[in-house]
Amino acid sequence: MAPFYEIQFKTRYAETDQMGYIHHSIYAQYFEMGRIEFMNSIGISYKQMEKEGVILPVYNLSTKYHIPLTFDERIRLKTYIKYIKGVRLAFGYEIFNEKDEKTTEGEVVLVFAGSDGKPIRPPKKYLDILKQYV
């Protein structure tokens, strides 16, 4: 596996569904948290990229649920870069519960785009940094 960045946090009551599980829509938010923290840790700020006219819209998101998460669980989220191919940047995710069981796997594919939303080549300064973590 590529180098990863890990964050830990507790699930919140507001994230649960009627069955008492973390709602499937929340996992996309968890992945975003991991991705932004990963990028910050390697010196790339989403905010700065956007000021420079570079955005990273989501192209594809997939999630595999192995074990449901519930309210008030301390979880670990590992985030890593799976690949960079053309204008696409793919991140992988793994979530572990307090028993160190893998509960969830995910992938988010982003596309480098200009502020108009049209795909662009990844700027060299960002590509040079990102390639170190694949």
| Spatial separation of the C-alpha atoms in residues 3 and 67, rounded to whole Å | 24
With beta carbons less than 8 A apart as the criterion, state whether 77 and 93 touch. Answer: yes
CB under 8 Å to 132, separation ≥6 — which residues?
42
- Catalytic, out of 17, 72, 100, 128: 17
CB under 8 Å to 71, separation ≥6 — which residues?
11, 12, 13, 15, 16, 20, 22
Dihedral of alpha carbons 71, 16, 66, 9, sign: negative
Residue 72 designated active-site: no
Q: Give me 12's structure tokens.
A: 């919140």
Catalytic residues: 17
